[in-house]
Chain A
C-alpha cells in the first residue's frame, strides 16, 4: 500500500510569504503528526491530530503556524509571513496504533 506522501518536496519562499504544506497519511491511519527538523538535528514535534481533532498543538512555535485536518485524512500545515528561521524540513507522520510512519518531508527554504 501507499505510504505517507507530502507535497511539495521542496519550497522556496521569500521572507513574508505564506506557504502551505500538504500531507497525505496512510489510508485508515487515525493519528497524524507534524514535526520540524532543522539541519543536523532530530525532529521536533509541532502538532498532532486524531481524526479531525487537533489534540496537541503545544509544539507550534508561534501563531504564524497553523495546521488543519478538516475531514480526518489529508492535513495542511500553513506558515504565515515566513521568516528565515522557519527554514527546515517539515515531516509528517501517521499512525494506527503506536508506531509512526513518516513521509519524505518538505524542505522549506526562506530567503
Chain B
C-alpha cells in the first residue's frame, strides 16, 4: 500500500519570504499523480498544485512550485513571496494511475504560519 509522509508538523515563514514543505511517499507503481492541497481553518480543501509522475518538468502555479524527485520519491512544495492568506494546513496526497484505485492517500499535514 502507498504511504505519504510529511515530516514537518509545523512550519513558519515571514511574509514575503520563501518556504518549502516536504513530502515523501512510498510506492511500487511507476506512474501516479501527486497533489498538494491547502486547508484553511474554514476546512474547505483547496487544490494548490498537481504533478503527473511521467512528466519530468516540475509543476508551477503562480507563487507555488514543486520539486519532484521521482527516484527519491520526494515531492516538496515551495511557496514564494508568502502572504498572510497562505496560512493553512497543507496536505500532500498520492493517487494511483488510471485503472487503479482512484482514492487519494494523504499525509498528516503541515501547519504553515505566516508572520507579518
What residues of chain A have their CB less than 8 Å away from a CB belonging to chain B?
31, 33, 35, 41-45, 48, 50, 55-56, 59, 89, 91, 93, 95, 98-105, 107
What residues of chain B have their CB less than 8 Å away from a CB belonging to chain A?
4, 33, 35, 37, 42-47, 50, 91, 93, 95, 98, 101-109
Closest 9 CB pairs of A and B: A42-B106, A102-B45, A45-B103, A104-B44, A42-B108, A105-B43, A43-B106, A42-B109, A42-B91
Main secondary structure of the interface of A (DSSP, over half): strand
User: Who on chain B is nearest to A44 by CB?
Assistant: B106
21 contacts between A and B (CB under 8 A): A33-B102, A33-B103, A42-B4, A42-B107, A42-B108, A43-B45, A43-B104, A43-B106, A48-B103, A50-B102, A56-B102, A93-B104, A98-B95, A98-B102, A99-B35, A100-B47, A100-B104, A102-B45, A103-B44, A104-B44, A107-B43
Task: Give the chain A neighbours of B105 by CB distance below 8 A.
Answer: 45
Complex CA distance for A105 and B103, rounded to whole angstroms: 17
Task: Give the chain A neighbours of B98 by CB distance below 8 A.
Answer: 98
Q: Is the CB of A91 within 8 A of B45?
A: yes
CB of B11 to closest CB in A, whole Å: 15
Task: Give the chain B neighbours of A56 by CB distance below 8 A.
Answer: 101-103
User: Who on chain A is nearest to B91 by CB?
Assistant: A42
Q: Is the CB of B102 within 8 A of A31?
A: yes
Complex CA distance for A61 and B108, rounded to whole angstroms: 19
User: Who on chain A is nearest to B105 by CB?
Assistant: A45
Q: Is the CB of B102 within 8 A of A99?
A: no
Complex CA distance for A80 and B77, rounded to whole angstroms: 40
Complex CA distance for A91 and B103, rounded to whole angstroms: 13
Complex CA distance for A102 and B91, rounded to whole angstroms: 13
User: Who on chain B is nearest to A107 by CB?
Assistant: B43
Complex CA distance for A41 and B44, rounded to whole angstroms: 15
Complex CA distance for A100 and B108, rounded to whole angstroms: 18
Task: Give the chain A neighbours of B91 by CB distance below 8 A.
Answer: 42-43
Q: Is the CB of B102 within 8 A of A41?
A: no
